[in-house]
Amino acid sequence: MPGSAGLLVVPLVLLLGTLWLATTGGAAVAVYRALFTGFLAYRLFGHGTRRTPAQVATTPARAELAVAAVLGVTVLDERLSAAS
């Protein structure tokens, strides 16, 4: 169900309030998250999956996990467990 993840955030918003949205920085973050990490990312993902064969799409999908792990370790100084 689209938008159902937003329902999970409602208690947090009710608890913490929305005053941060009245600031320039807060509004900019909200717009950025809505447009780029939400709308645009899913539109591009949908466009790519409609036009890409499964054999081709599998490699970048698997590589994404490895790249995320490497970035986490190198950029954010995260520590990976043995299982990771």
62 with 28, same domain: the answer is no
11 with 32, same domain: the answer is yes
Report residue 21 as tokens. Answer: 């949205």
The total number of structural domains that make up the chain? 2
pLDDT for the residue numbered 48 = 84
40 with 2, same domain: the answer is yes
pTM, two decimal places? 0.49
Angle (CA) 5-53-38 rounded to 5° is: 25
Q: What are phi and psi of 3, to 5 degrees?
A: 85, -5
pLDDT for the residue numbered 36 = 85
17 with 6, same domain: the answer is yes
> What string of pLDDT tens digits covers the 84 residues of the chain?
556 777 888 888 889 888 888 899 989 998 898 888 888 888 888 888 888 888 888 888 888 888 988 999 999 988 888 887
pLDDT for the residue numbered 16 = 86
**Domain span holding position 74:** 53-84
44 with 60, same domain: the answer is no
59 with 76, same domain: the answer is yes
Distance CA 45, CA 48 (A): 5
